[in-house]
């Protein structure tokens, strides 16, 4: 039996974002509270380093700027141009990171995958597209389908049709995200501070 608090799996997320207040109070590179990590290396005024173009992500150190640079470079221009309520949305920021990663063919990220444990000490390579999407369930609920259609419209305005693709394709991406992602709380208060999509976690049999 798995007790609350037991670590059942440790894995790096395929895509992750800070959510809610944590987006303002935590470093977007290492996800630690800014107040804990900003020291002498913290950049201007000890308040960390904020992206000067979109004025959104803050980082505790130049190393964290670098660690997020590949991902943030893709989203920065769209973030800078987006209305405040769009770019503050956890869902929009998560989908933006995911869609831009999937659309980036320069680093072979279209096929991005990772080795995951399988069976008796075996391993296999798994990509985003191997994840279950439960597409039919998502499109058979009228209320949910309205939500997805609205999100598809928002994301297309935000990132452009070449990144977002058709509504059908978007349903598959949205479904895989919702089925395979988890909120992560960083402390005893159990307040979600980050939201991550994990490829490896989907090997845990989930029947919900």
Binding flag, residue 27, Zn ion (CB under 5 A):
yes
Which of 30, 86, 91, 203 is in the footprint of Zn ion by CB under 5 A?
Answer: 30
- Our CB check for Zn ion shows the closer of 40 and 142 to be 40
Q: CA-CA distance, 51 to 22, in Å (whole number)?
A: 16
- Our CB check for Zn ion shows the closer of 53 and 206 to be 53
Binding flag, residue 18, Zn ion (CB under 5 A):
no
Cα dist. 40→27, 44, 47, 62, 165 in Å?
15, 10, 10, 12, 45
**Interaction residues for Zn ion, span 57-76 (CB under 5 A):** 60, 64, 76
Tokens representing 172 are 């598959």
As a whole number of angstroms, the longest Cα–Cα distance in the chain is: 54
- Our CB check for Zn ion shows the closer of 89 and 127 to be 89
Compute how many residues bind Zn ion; rule: CB under 5 A: 9
Cα dist. 164→36, 40, 54, 193 in Å?
37, 41, 21, 26
CB atoms inside a 10 Å sphere around CB 42 = 19
- Our CB check for Zn ion shows the closer of 54 and 192 to be 54
Which of 29, 42, 172, 196 is in the footprint of Zn ion by CB under 5 A?
Answer: 29
To Zn ion, the closest distance from the beta carbon of 26 in angstroms equals 8
Please check whether residue 54 is in contact with residue 73, taking contact to mean a CB–CB distance below 8 angstroms: no
To Zn ion, the closest distance from the beta carbon of 79 in angstroms equals 6
Site for Zn ion, rule CB under 5 A? 27, 29-30, 51, 53-54, 60, 64, 76
């Amino acid at each position: 039996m798995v007790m609350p608090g037991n670590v059942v799996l440790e894995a790096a997320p395929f895509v992750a974002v800070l959510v809610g207040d944590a987006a303002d109070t935590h470093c977007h590179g290492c996800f630690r509270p800014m107040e804990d990590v900003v020291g002498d290396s913290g950049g201007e005024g000890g308040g960390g380093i904020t992206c000067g173009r979109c004025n959104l992500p803050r980082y505790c150190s130049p190393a964290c700027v670098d660690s997020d640079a590949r991902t943030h470079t893709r989203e920065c221009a769209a973030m800078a141009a987006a209305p405040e309520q769009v770019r503050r949305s956890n869902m929009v920021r998560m989908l933006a990171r995911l869609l831009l990663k999937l659309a980036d063919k320069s680093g072979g990220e279209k096929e991005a995958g990772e080795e995951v444990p399988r069976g008796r000490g075996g391993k296999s390579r798994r990509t985003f597209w191997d994840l279950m999407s439960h597409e039919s369930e998502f499109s058979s609920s009228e209320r949910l389908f309205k939500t997805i259609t609205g999100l598809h419209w928002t994301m297309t305005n935000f990132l452009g049709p070449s990144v977002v693709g058709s509504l059908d394709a978007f349903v598959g991406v949205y479904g895989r995200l919702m089925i395979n992602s988890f909120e992560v709380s960083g402390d005893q208060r159990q307040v979600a501070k980050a939201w991550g999509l994990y490829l490896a976690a989907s090997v845990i049999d989930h029947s919900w």
